[in-house]
Amino acid sequence: MRKVDEHRSKNNFAEINAYECEAYNRISISVQNLSEKFKQKRIIRDIYQKLAQIESLRDKNANLVIPIYLSEAISTIYFKKNPMRMKEIVQKSYSKGLGIADNDFITQLTASGYNTINFYQNWIGLFRKEFMSPLAKGGTGVYTYFLRDTTQVGLHTCFRIDFDPKNTRDLAFRGTLWIDTTSYALVQIDANIDKTANINFIDKIQIQQEYEQLGEKEDTWMPEKTRLVIDASELFDKSTGVVIGLAINLKDVIVNKPKELAFFDAPVEIRADSKEADDAFWTQQRQEKLTKDEQLSLALIDTVSQVPSFRRLSKAVNFFVNGGYVRLTKAVELGSAFFSYARNNIEQNRFWLGMRTSPGFSKKWQINGYLAYGTRDKILKRDLEITYVPSTAPLTRFGLKANLDIDQIGIRQEDIGDNALFRLASRFGRSNGAFYQRDYQVFFQKDFSQNITTTLTLRHRAFYPLDYFYPEEFSKERFSIVTPFNAPEASFALRYIPNRIPSRNPNRIRTRAGKSAPVIGLKYTFGHVSDTLLASVGSQLGNYHIVKVDFSHMLRFGLFGKTDYTIEGLYTPSLLPINLLNVHLGNETFVYAKNAFNLMNYSEFASDRYLSLSFHHSFEGLVTNRIPLLNRWGLRTFAVGKLLYGSLRVDNEELVSKYFESSPEYLPQLYLPKSIGPTPYVELGYGIDNIFRFLRVAAVHRLTHLNAPGTRSFGIRAAIHVSL
């Protein structure tokens, strides 16, 4: 293995300056090994009885095999090492599936990122998990190697080496290597992961790669064939299997003839006639014949889709996978059902109904919105967002948004991000510092390269106190702003995301597994507080400037896990109303929120300049894999921490107190955001992940600023977290 490491750079195809090739990939999905218990479930029984009559659906052991999905694609792949760029031109493709849309994660497996499974890397990324390669530097710390014999593989004389993980619960492979005796290059590998490893929903993963010397001089080792089989037999029932198979073949390899850098500006191109190919074309062009099961899949998918019970099952599965949305027509979905109701002191009962278009409506236009109504405030909240995507190569988007809804100082909806459970929980309970916001936005987003995304946004916001629309109902609600005002602004955002790989879905960003480079963001905002009614509150209000930067990175420590950390900073020299200041996101719910300070109260601290550090270290099964009994439960441990330095200029701090109604009867100082001061805010936590495969529980300690009223030094938070 030392010789393999010494020749790594010479034999590793990722070290080639440039290459291009034709890639053929195929993915198939089937359900098999249905248990008797599973067959008797009411929604499954009709499907099984219908299909059991088709003899050709049975395997050699007479077990029923139900095809779900089959796709094929022929692409041209281009790679450039320095700077690292990758491009995929999809020449031809088609797919057939039962309830699986083209933009689902299954289809993403056929994108070119999986063409580069590379065992010369230290880590093999699969489904957001990283498995240590048997060829990794330092692999002897994880694997035990056995030199078996010398054998012939094609034209190559090879050492046959078996490898086993030292701890079967670790994220590592078991299998066999065939190493060329002359060049010490990898010729073939069979790598398997079984259910003893600490992974969820997967019974087995099998990877087989065959390398060959390709290119004009036939001296470049490339993975000519790759096979990936995933047996998710524990997804539904212990003896009910979902098997995903992926086959990738490369041919016509050309090396060291790099394209110009501008060629890679569009990372994915799909030919206009990519869907125009008949059966005769695929019979002639596919590099590998369809198996008997795959031929049956093509013939019988349409038959299966007509079974009424299957259609009901498909709708139920899609409901949860799509976040609670229900398909109303081919073009429109209603939802999310998870947000349909909330209760708080301002709205009392909040009823919510959302809508969005699907790809059946248009591949270039996307429309989504919602209506919400509160039984106490009697205001119809509404939201409408329209996005136009003229090009996905490079990604270009125009959009506009109009919104009227209730919001709250210290827990603004735009700060919550994509944490759906935290967003829902924040709508319950008592809202302090609440206000209404009318928001209009127009934005333009464009990728200027594979790594750089720019966004220009024009925005106009109007803020209203609670008693603005119904003064008789909210005359005694003093936890609100003093007077309405307007704030038009323009912002420019630049985001650098290295190691992105082509994605056929414009709403997804995918990064290359095995690489570790920081993501950097920069945003500048220029605006104006335009309402003269605020003159009595702050005579210096007017133009404002805000600069924000963020830096996020992932560090790998082998068996000791990995750390995700983010450094964020903001600066504004301007006098700002509290709605425009940065009020740090607290958390008074039971939900663990990754982007919030989990023991900070709502509206507790505000800053016009700050620097923060947050980290999340996942130990995976480093500890629990080595403790009897715990290693059977698949538990994983993690540690988290947040550090915040910030300050608020005196004039901004004075403006905060003037900005609210000042009656001490209705406005205790607890709800006035304060400056952090010279002592940073610090909280540290630790927890257990993968409880029952979907639950994460964290214990969080607050270490500073403990004397303020209502603060807590310790808290337990939980979150739903599903991963492999």
Tens-place pLDDT, residues 24-71:
988 888 877 666 666 666 666 666 666 666 666 666 666 667 777 888
Q: Which residue has the higher pLDDT, 587 or 428?
A: 587
Minimum mean pLDDT range among 115-124, 295-304, 608-617, 700-709:
295-304
Pair 713, 705: CB distance under 8 Å: no
pLDDT (tens digit per residue) in 622-646? 888 888 877 788 889 999 999 999 9
Is the pLDDT score of 546 beyond 90?
yes
pLDDT of 138 strictly over 80:
yes
Q: What are phi and psi of 426, to 5 degrees?
A: -70, -15
pLDDT at position 304 is 67
On the question of pLDDT at 464 being above 60, the answer is yes
- Residue 690: its pLDDT value, please? 87
Q: Which residues contact 619 (CB under 8 A, 6 or more apart)?
A: 560, 561, 636, 637, 638, 639
pLDDT at 423: 79
What are the start and end residues of each CATH 2.40.160.50 domain in the chain? 322-508+515-720
Rg (CA), the chain: 28
> What's the confidence (pLDDT) of residue 609?
96
Q: Check residue 194 and give its pLDDT.
A: 82
Q: Confidence class of residue 670 from pLDDT cuts 50, 70 and 90?
A: very low
Q: Which residues contact 143 (CB under 8 A, 6 or more apart)?
A: 132, 134, 163, 164, 165, 166, 172
Interval 210-222 mean pLDDT? 79
Look at residues 282, 180, 182, 192 and name the one whose alpha carbon lies nearest to residue 229.
192
Amino acid 120: pLDDT: 92
Res. 429 pLDDT band, cuts 50 70 90:
confident
Least confident of 192-206, 343-357, 709-723: 192-206
How many CB atoms lie under 10 A from the CB of residue 79? 23
The stretch 76-84 carries a mean pLDDT of 88
Instruction: State the average pLDDT over residues 693-716.
Output: 92
Mean pLDDT of the chain: 83
Band the pLDDT of 213: cuts 50, 70, 90.
confident
Does the CA dihedral 260-262-267-273 come out positive or negative? Answer: negative
For the record, the structure tokens of 52 come out as: 């059991």
197: three-class secondary structure by DSSP: coil
- pLDDT at position 341, please? 92
pLDDT over threshold 50, residue 107: no
Mean pLDDT lowest for which of 267-271, 312-316, 490-494?
A: 312-316
User: Lowest-pLDDT range, 91-95, 195-199, 481-485?
Assistant: 481-485
Is pLDDT above 60 for 508? no
Dihedral class, residue 175 (left if φ above 0, else alpha if ψ from -120 to 50, else beta): left
Can you tell me the mean pLDDT for 641-657?
88
pLDDT of 215: 63
pLDDT at site 513:
44
Q: At 297, is the pLDDT very low, low, confident or very high (cuts 50, 70, 90)?
A: low
Instruction: Provide the token pair at 512.
Output: 């290359």
Average pLDDT on 188-208 reads 86
pLDDT confidence of residue 669:
41
- At 239 the pLDDT is 52
Output the pLDDT for position 533. 56
Averaged pLDDT, 134-163: 92
Please write the tens of the pLDDT for every residue from 467-481.
777 776 776 655 556
Determine the average pLDDT of the residues in 565-586.
92
State the pLDDT at residue 379: 92
Question: What percent of the chain is modeled with pLDDT above 90?
Answer: 36
pLDDT band at 113 (very low <50, low <70, confident <90, very high): very low
| Pick from 61-70, 184-193, 282-291: least confident | 61-70
For 157-173, give one letter per residue: b (16+ CB within 10 A) or e.
ebbbbbbebebebbbbb
- pLDDT confidence band for 153 (50 / 70 / 90): very high
The packing angle between helices 308-321 and 292-305, to 10°, is 100
Structure-token pair, residue 517: 């480079």
pTM score: 0.81
Structure confidence by residue, pLDDT tens digits, 361-407: 998 999 999 999 999 999 999 999 999 999 877 789 999 999 999 98
d(C-alpha 337, C-alpha 403), whole Å: 20
When pLDDT is averaged across residues 173-183 and rounded to a whole number, the result is 94
Domain covering 322-508+515-720, topology: Porin (2.40.160)
Q: What are phi and psi of 691, to 5 degrees?
A: -75, 120
Contact 132/100 with Cβ under 8 angstroms?
A: no
Question: What are 482-500's pLDDT values in tens digits?
Answer: 678 899 999 999 999 886 6
Q: What is the mean pLDDT of residues 344-359?
A: 92
Helix ranges (H only) for 25-104 are 36-39, 42-51
